Amino acid sequence: DAGVTQSPTHLIKTRGQQVTLRCSPKSGHDTVSWYQQALGQGPQFIFQYYEEEERQRGNFPDRFSGHQFPNYSSELNVNALLLGDSALYLCASSLETPRETQYFGPGTRLLVL
Amino acid sequence: SQQGEEDPQALSIQEGENATMNCSYKTSINNLQWYRQNSGRGLVHLILIRSNEREKHSGRLRVTLDTSKKSSSLLITASRAADTASYFCATSKSAGTYKYIFGTGTRLKVLA
């Protein structure tokens, strides 16, 4: 049973560019959440997708957008990259019920130069 | 912004000793969870405690919750080198929210 997978594992971009990160949830899971984790900090909630819709969002600008596909996989898009977007991006999947237990992927480490 | 603050920020102990780390949070919660993270990679869910519970156990882990003090503690007994990791608490404000707010983490190092 495959766990949560994310791609790519590492990425280097320059300021102003756009990036797309991908996540495949754990088998059977229908809910995907995205988190940003800056170095030395705890993860910060970006948004959550369920039934292909964003249903809750953290304090992140509109430059951060996402999508969920019918197979429950998800993408995180970040436009107009800033140096401060450099972080580990984590995807977590869960069932709608119970939704408290999240399974995290290994993350994508993004470096913006 | 971070909801929780873990204390201490870093902890170094000998193998076999117990490790205790604390989490304080600011607002009322529905439940609190503890996670482990190895070397800046994905997080692993350890234990969940609901606001109406005071203590839970899972193997070598013991979690307490004091809602009056808005704090929780994680105790790892008989620590092993493999327990070396960062530990985070995460809180959910209500049953209807999908957003978990993580603390700043405690970096635990267990020396063999």
Q: Average per-residue pLDDT in chain A?
A: 93
Q: Check CB contact under 8 Å for B103 and A41.
A: no
Q: Which residues in B lie closer than 8 A to residue A104 (C-beta atoms)?
A: 35, 42-45
pLDDT at A108 over 90: yes
- Can you tell me the mean pLDDT for A8-34? 96
Tell me the fold of A5-112: Immunoglobulin-like (2.60.40)
Give the model's pLDDT for residue A48.
Answer: 93
Dihedral, CA atoms, A110, B88, B84, A104, nearest 10 degrees? -50
Q: Check CB contact under 8 Å for A42 and B43.
A: no
Q: Which residues in B lie closer than 8 A to residue A29 (C-beta atoms)?
A: none
What domains sit in chain B, N to C, each tagged with a CATH number?
5-111 (2.60.40.10)
Percent of chain A whose pLDDT exceeds 90: 86
Q: Check CB contact under 8 Å for A48 and B43.
A: no
Q: What is the pLDDT of residues A62-102, one digit of tens each?
A: 999 999 999 999 999 999 999 999 999 999 998 876 667 88
Q: Which residues in B lie closer than 8 A to residue A88 (C-beta atoms)?
A: 40
B47 at interface of A, judged by CB pairs closer than 8 A: no
What pLDDT tens digit does each residue of chain B (112 aa) get? Answer: 456 688 899 999 999 999 999 999 998 898 999 999 998 788 999 999 999 999 999 999 999 999 999 999 999 999 999 999 999 999 988 766 678 889 999 999 999 9
Provide DSSP, A48-106.
EEETTEEEEE-S--TTEEEEE-TTS-EEEEE-S--GGG-EEEEEEEE-STT-S--EE--
User: For chain A, what are the domain ranges?
Assistant: 5-112
